[in-house]
Every structure is written in C-alpha cells, then in structure tokens.
Amino acid sequence: MIDVRGFIVSAWDEHRADGPAPRRTLATGRLEDGRSFALVLPAPAPAVYVAAADGPRAAALLGGTHRATLDPTAWSDLAGAALARVELRAGAAEDAWRRLAASGTPARHVERGRASDGLLALGLVGPVAMRGEPVPGRRVGLVFVNPELAPSAAVPQLAWLALDIETDRAGTVTAVSLAGAGGPGEVLFVGPPVASPTVISLPSERALLTVLSDRIRARDPDVVTGWNVVDFDLQVLAARYAAHGIPFDVGRVPGGLALRSRPGGRHSIELAGRAVLDAMRLVRASGRRLDDFTLDGVAQVILGEGKTVSARGEAKLRELERLRRDEPARFCAYCLRDAELVLAILARTGLDALTARRAALTGVSLDLAWTSIPAFERIYGAALRARRVVPPARSDAPVSGAAGGTVLAAKAGLFKNVLVLDFRSLYPSLMRTFHLDPLGHARATERPRPDDLVAPNGARFDRTEGILPGILETYAREREAALGAGDETAAHVYKILQNSFYGVLGASGCRYARTELAGAITSFGQLFLRAARDWFEAQGHEVLYGDTDSVFVRSGFGDEAGHAALSGLGRELVAALNRHLAERIRRDHDVASHLSMRCEKVYRRFFIPRLRGDASPDGRGRGKGYAGLLLLPGDATEMEVRGMEAVRSDSTPLARRFQVELLRHLFAGDGEAGLRAHGRETAARLPRGDFDGELVYRKALRRPAEGYETQTPQVRAARLLGWTDRRGRVDYVMTRAGPEPVSARSGAPLDYEHYLERQLRPIAESIAQVLGASADDWLGEAGQLGLFASPRAGR
C-alpha cells in the first residue's frame, strides 16, 4: 500500500456496452512526483428525492425493479420542505422518474449516478489523497483500483502540451508542431528531410497523422492547448483522421475525440483522460483588454515578440507557401514557434497555474475553470449537500439582473489633489454582513420571522441559514494568508472568485439566481455609497464623483502637500467612516460590519469632461470617463486615463495620442495658449499626411460580415475584403470613397476632414470647455480641410 497525492484532471463514466448505465467511474491525473495516474471506481448509485411523506411509498414502488432503498438521513429542499432520498440501482434514474410521475408521486430532484456525483459525494474538487496498491498502466504511470480517497490541498504542476497545425489551400495538414509536455518541441512535416533535430519529415498526410497519435500518447499531456485549438486545429485534425479512416486515438484510454456544443453556441472537445483548453479563450476569460486577440497580437503585447511571419490574409498564405516550398527549415521553425508562443503566453500571464488553482478551488473540470455559473453551482451545491439540502430545479423564469451599482452625478472640471476612496470587495462584503444568500433568502421567504434581515429592496434573509457568508469569510481569510505567504496565484484566484458571486446571482442561467436576491446586494451597495458621500460632505469634503464602490473626494489641500500628507488624510477619513458605518449597521441591523473603505490612490490633478452637448454654466460631468495625474509615493506623477478615447479600442492611434498630449499640457498648467498651439499644429499637419500611419481603425466583428443588417464602416470594410462567413478584426481607414480595408485600398484619398471632425474635435472640445475656450479656435472651423489637397493623400 502506498500513500500519494495528486490532481484529478479528468473524470468520466465508463458505460456498459449494452446500455447507457455507467459501469464504472474512471479518472486520470498527475501525481506530485510527476507520474500520471488513473483511478477505477465503482459508479455512484443514482437516487431520486421525493416529499418526505412519500418516501416509503416511493421506495416500495421502485424496490423490486430498481432495488430501491430509503436513505434514513433527513433531507430538505431550499425552502425547507422535508424530502426523502431513495437510492437506486445503476441506470435506473430515468425510469424511476417516469414511474414516480405516473404514480402521482413526482420526484423533486434526480441524481443520475454520474462521475461528477461521485466526486461531489466524496468531497473531491481536484486535489486528492490516495491510499492503495497501484499497478502499472498502459497509457498512464499508475492505476489505482478502488483506493481510499480523501480531499487534499496539493495542486501538482500539470503537463501542458501546445499543438499547432499548418494546412495548405486544400485543407490538407502539412505540419503539426508540439511543444511542452514530454520533452523538447518537435515538428511533424510532410516534405523532404530537414536538417534539424526538431523536425520529423514524413512522406504523406496519412503518415503524419499516424505518427502524431503516437507522439501525443508518448508525451502523455494532462492538458492539450493551442491558439483557437478547439474551433480550428483539433476539428481539422479530426476531419482529416476521419477522411483517412484512421482513429484519432490520443486519449489516456482507447477512443476518439468528441466535439460538444455548449450554451451560447460555443464548442468544447472531450479527450478521454485529458483536458482540452483553448489558450485564446483563457486569455479572453482572464479579463485582459486587448485590441487584437490573434496569437501574434497577444504575443507582442504580453511577450514583446511575435510570430516569425506576421503578415495576414493572402500575403501570409503566399509567404507560407513559399517557405514550405523553398525553405522548409524556416517553415518548420515558424510552425514550432506558434506552439512555443502559446506556452510562453500562458507562463508569463500565469494562466496555466491560475486555471489549475481555480479548478481546484471550485471543483469544476479544467475546461470550466474560468466560467462563473458552473463554478458557483458546484461550490454552492457541495455546501448544500453537506447540509443535506437538495439544489433547486432550473427555472425558465426571467431574472432581470436587478439595478446595477449607483453612479453619483459627476462634476465636470479640472481639480487639484483629489482622493479616491473605495470599498474593498463591496458586494462580497455586503453578502457577509447582511447574510445575503440563496438558502437564507428561500428560508426567510417561506417562513418570515421578525428578526429577519431585510434589504432596501424588501428581500428577506434568515440570520442563521446562509451559506455564502461562511464561504466568503473562508475565501477572504485564505486570500490574506496567500498574500502573506507571497502566493499571488492563490490570492488572485480567491479575489476573482469572490467578485463573481454577485454576477451569477443575477444571471438567468444560474439555478440560484433571483431578481430580488441580486437586487438586495445592489440596493445595499447603493445605500452605503450614498451614505459615504453624505458623510464626506458632512466633514466638509466635496464629492466630485462616485461609481458603485468608489468616491472621488476633494482633499482641500494645496500643492505643497505631497503624497504622504494626502494619503495620510485619506487613511484618517476612511478609518473614521468605517467606524461610523460599523456603528450604524450594528444599530440598525444588529450585525457586525464587514465593509471596509480604503484610500486607493491620490491624483495631483483630476479631470472630468462635460457630458457632450451640455453647455450649461455648471455642466454635468461625463460618468465612467475621467483622467488624472496620479501622485505616487515619493511624489512622482503618472498619467492615468479611464473610459476616455485614449484607452478605447474604437479610437484611432492619432486620437488616443492627441488626447494624452492635450491632457499632459492641461495637467502641466500650460494654459489655454499651450493647448491651442498644440491643437493648431496637429490640425495643420493632418492634411499634409504626417499622421497617415495613425489613422487606422481596428474593430472586431463578433459574427460573420454578412450577418449584419446595418452596414457600419467595419462591416463595409470586411465585405470589401470578401468576408462572408468569417469574423475577426478588420483594419480600415476612412477615405473620400468611404471606409476601405487597409490591405485593399482603392487609391481614394484619405478623408482628413472625417478624422478632424470625428476623432480630434470631440477630444479638443471636451478639454477646451474646462478652460472656457472653443475647439474651433484650436483646430479651425469645420469643413476647412476640404480646401486642401495632399500629394500623399492617395497612398
């Protein structure tokens, strides 16, 4: 007998050959010592839940056929109604459901005896401790048959294999690169011998596919990844294997690859014993805001380097054809580079480790680690099971999502020495403080009590029945411990998971979501943001703006105050506010406050533009968009722009740069004359062609170009490129003939007046208003550029 720890990468049902009933549960993963392992476990028994009074009758009805037994443990539903659990033989769940319905004793909930049910019953969420007598495996290092299992905290390093394919114009696979798990990178290449130890030259596509299966099995990855690997590489490979009549057998047990459809039209790929994770999806799910999600675009931003061939479209196809024909070594190097870039991006961002840690914390499979609803349902479902509470059925009832966070009216202008004060993890803190929780809400709604906690929107919550407060308290404690230990990966996972809980409770796809539940969270948030505003103003500090969990407050200090003095004032203010709110919450609700405001940052200068079209003397500010000169420790400064053109992907590079330059002049105190001089210089240089390289719009099409009814500039440009069933990013410029793709210009001159009026003038106007000036004086009257002709305009 040995004791080992590992991580379950994949778990699935092994079905009988004669029917759908699971025969066994199989699972595979990675041990701490680096070996792969497999588990062979008995399939969990299915069960049905009925009203407690109907338990004996249901067990008798199903007993002979389905060997039903009545669980003596007391169960209940979310609202507190007593239930009985009737355990069945394998494969009996669906028939039992039908027979109970026909008998007038409907089942309230069904457990179908799947692998996920078995892991949930054992309390396993990925990390596992095993005690048993293993035997050597065929496609894994060790196999444990029905060992002793227990939850563990270990998350060993997983083996990630990046895969990338190249195809010719006919769709034939010409090369496949593998990098990561199992050794150095390698390329399988259909072509002549190449003098490189990383290249295996093969005579045909069929030979390549045969060798590829052997190489993937030999490398034994836990995770297969790549850029767009789910929607392209693996689907193409599956089709080519099928065309040759070769099984795509690269899992940890014999069998093929399965393509699954998920809600929202997305696909996933199942590969027995391994996880398939699309690296592009991981980067998107992480919340990174990038203009270009191609592999080359992301690599340039994250790594500072990119593909060896960066051309796009037809130019890229021609160059790759030339390399394959004339320079096969460089062609193979290009292919391998694509796989290596994927691994480098995952390592630099930490997304490989983050994904495993998030899956380990939530209990979902690796491919669902970055989802919010499945992760929440798994976490909450496990906590319910520990209390012998059955999850609610999914409902088609709409969930409105409730009102969002409060936005306090912004005051337009340029201000000195502004403090930004924000509530730390506002919504999780409110859930902990006021017991905002699906179970507590359901129990209080069914049986209201005088001492229930009542939210501003009227939703009621039981003080003792909640689950989320305890989960969030544990996460908060673990996050602080992770920060103290320098484990940034774990700290980040705890933070983003906590912050996702509000969103799922207002999402119609979540079985626990309710409009009144989400509304309770936001209504408390609105209440305390306004309370913070009122308190600061009572202390004599003007509040310039507020949004959801932050307020922007004038310090009243002059520029003689440095960062230490300003941040010190901020700390004093939030300490006093925190005490005030704690006393109010204890007095009004008799609970302990978990709300904590902090001084997040200090701006030496802070700018809020006016709402467009607002010409009133005390013009209202534009919410969600502002800029400031951030004051750092030591009194250095740094420009920061939020929600304005300088950080928006739908602005041209020229517009972004122009706004930043004007703001620098504004914050430096150059006055109206300095800004006017810069604006006039920019307007004068524009029609001379000095900025032609900065006039490209880059916008993404989320669906094929032909699927849009409105012909926006980007859609028109995409159609000019011949895009019909293709989506993606299109680069275009505005010409006198309208929008044209950069790679297919007609020769029409650039429309400089468009760029002046649509890109530069709104930016100049928003800043000129603060100084009581006019953008017309800075840029010139509308239409004047039409008088000029540029010898470079047709480039």
Contacts of 473 (CB under 8 A, 6+ apart): 432
Whether 687 is covered by a domain: the verdict is yes
Whether 703 is covered by a domain: the verdict is yes
Gap between the Cα atoms of 91 and 112, Å rounded: 7
Domain match, 523 and 660 both? no
Whether 357 is covered by a domain: the verdict is no
pTM reported for the whole predicted model: 0.87
pLDDT at 402: 59
Tokens in use for 463? 């003080």
Quick check: 642 pLDDT over 60? Answer: yes
Domain match, 673 and 599 both? no
For tokens 């969930």, the residue is 399
Between the CA of residue 354 and those of 123, 350, 493, 497, what are the distances in Å?
21, 6, 7, 12
Contacts 24+ apart (CB under 8 A), 528-531: 528/423, 528/426, 528/430, 528/581, 528/595, 529/405, 529/406, 529/408, 529/423, 530/406, 530/408, 531/581, 531/584
Query: 435: pLDDT confidence band, cut at 50, 70 and 90?
Result: very high
Query: Is residue 290 within 8 Å of 156, Cβ to Cβ?
Result: no
DSSP label at residue 687:
G
Quick check: 794 pLDDT over 60? Answer: no
Tokens in use for 788? 């000029």
Query: 793: pLDDT confidence band, cut at 50, 70 and 90?
Result: very low
Q: Are strands 223-226 and 160-167 parallel, antiparallel or unpaired?
A: parallel
Domain match, 52 and 170 both? no
Query: 395: pLDDT confidence band, cut at 50, 70 and 90?
Result: confident
State the SS3 of 200-247: EEECCHHHHHHHHHHHHHHHCCCEEEECCHHHHHHHHHHHHHHHHCCC
Helix/strand number for the chain, H first, E second: 23, 32
Gap between the Cα atoms of 309 and 324, Å rounded: 13
Domain match, 577 and 700 both? no
The mean pLDDT of 558-567, rounded to a whole number, is 97
Domain match, 491 and 631 both? yes
Query: 407: pLDDT confidence band, cut at 50, 70 and 90?
Result: confident
Report the candidate in 521, 304, 294, 486 with the shortest Cα–Cα distance to residue 402: 521
Quick check: 791 pLDDT over 50? Answer: no
CB atoms near residue 571 (< 10 Å): 14
pLDDT at 617: 59
CB atoms near residue 2 (< 10 Å): 11
Q: Which of 603, 621, 642 is the last residue of a domain?
A: 642
Computed on alpha carbons and rounded to an integer, the radius of gyration of the chain in Å comes to 31
For tokens 């007609």, the residue is 746
Residue 135: in which H helix or E strand, if any? strand 135-136
Domain match, 471 and 557 both? yes
Whether 181 is covered by a domain: the verdict is yes
Expressed as residue numbers, the domain containing 310 is 160-349
Mapping DSSP to helix (H, G, I), strand (E, B) and coil, where does residue 288 land?
A: coil
Residue 28: in which H helix or E strand, if any? strand 22-31
Query: 263: pLDDT confidence band, cut at 50, 70 and 90?
Result: low
Domain match, 510 and 630 both? yes
Contacts of 513 (CB under 8 A, 6+ apart): 399, 504, 505, 506, 507
> If you write DSSP's letter for every residue of 45-71 in order, what string do you get?
PPEEEEEGGGHHHHHHHHHHHH--EE-
Q: Which of 101, 125, 151 is the last residue of a domain?
A: 151
Whether 44 is covered by a domain: the verdict is yes
Mapping DSSP to helix (H, G, I), strand (E, B) and coil, where does residue 578 land?
A: helix
Quick check: 292 pLDDT over 80? Answer: no
Bridge partners of 160, per DSSP, are: 223
Whether 367 is covered by a domain: the verdict is no
Q: Are strands 697-701 and 460-461 parallel, antiparallel or unpaired?
A: unpaired
Span of 68-82, 108-122, 199-213, 287-301 with lowest mean pLDDT: 287-301
Q: Which of 642, 674, 701 is the last residue of a domain?
A: 642
Between the CA of residue 48 and those of 57, 68, 109, what are the distances in Å?
13, 10, 6
Contacts of 744 (CB under 8 A, 6+ apart): 720, 721
Query: Is residue 679 within 8 Å of 779, Cβ to Cβ?
Result: yes
The mean pLDDT of 610-618, rounded to a whole number, is 70
Query: Length of the chain in residues, anyone?
Result: 795
Query: 315: pLDDT confidence band, cut at 50, 70 and 90?
Result: confident
pLDDT at 387: 95
Query: Is residue 100 within 8 Å of 106, Cβ to Cβ?
Result: yes
pLDDT at 783: 42
DSSP label at residue 678:
H
Look at the chain and report how many structural domains it folds into.
4
Helices (H), 421-562: 426-434, 438-446, 468-484, 488-505, 515-538
Backbone angles phi, psi at 305, to 5 degrees: -155, 165
CATH of the domain at 170: 3.30.420.10
Mapping DSSP to helix (H, G, I), strand (E, B) and coil, where does residue 511 land?
A: coil
Whether 392 is covered by a domain: the verdict is no
CATH of the domain at 707: 1.10.132.60
Span of 136-140, 165-169, 775-779, 783-787 with lowest mean pLDDT: 783-787
Query: 311: pLDDT confidence band, cut at 50, 70 and 90?
Result: low
Reported as half-sphere exposure (CB side, CA atoms, 13 A), residue 780 has a value of 17
Gap between the Cα atoms of 399 and 382, Å rounded: 24
Gap between the Cα atoms of 795 and 786, Å rounded: 18
Domain match, 11 and 72 both? yes
Domain match, 693 and 778 both? yes
The mean pLDDT of 159-175, rounded to a whole number, is 95
Domain match, 308 and 244 both? yes
pLDDT at 31: 97
Sheet containing 637-642: give its strands across: 407-408, 543-547, 550-554, 413-423, 597-608, 626-631, 637-642
Gap between the Cα atoms of 234 and 75, Å rounded: 45
pLDDT at 789: 43
Between the CA of residue 139 and those of 142, 246, 270, 273, what are the distances in Å?
9, 19, 17, 10
Query: Is residue 552 within 8 Å of 544, Cβ to Cβ?
Result: yes
Gap between the Cα atoms of 26 and 3, Å rounded: 19
Residue 292: in which H helix or E strand, if any? none
Q: What is the dihedral of CA 212, 214, 217, 221, to 10 degrees?
A: -30
Most confident option among 261-265, 493-497, 618-622? 493-497
Report the candidate in 211, 703, 610, 471 with the shortest Cα–Cα distance to residue 718: 703
Whether 794 is covered by a domain: the verdict is no
CATH of the domain at 623: 3.90.1600.10
Q: What is the mean pLDDT of the chain?
A: 90
Domain match, 467 and 529 both? yes
Quick check: 680 pLDDT over 70? Answer: yes
For tokens 């119609």, the residue is 508
Q: What is the pLDDT of residues 13-59, one digit of tens each?
A: 887 655 556 678 999 999 999 999 999 999 899 999 999 999 999 99
Domain match, 626 and 711 both? no
Instruction: Name the percent of the chain lying above pLDDT 90.
Output: 70
Task: Count Cβ neighbours within 10 Å for each residue of 221-241 and write b for 16 or more, e otherwise.
Answer: bbbbbbbbbbebbbbebbebb
Q: Are strands 266-270 and 550-554 parallel, antiparallel or unpaired?
A: unpaired
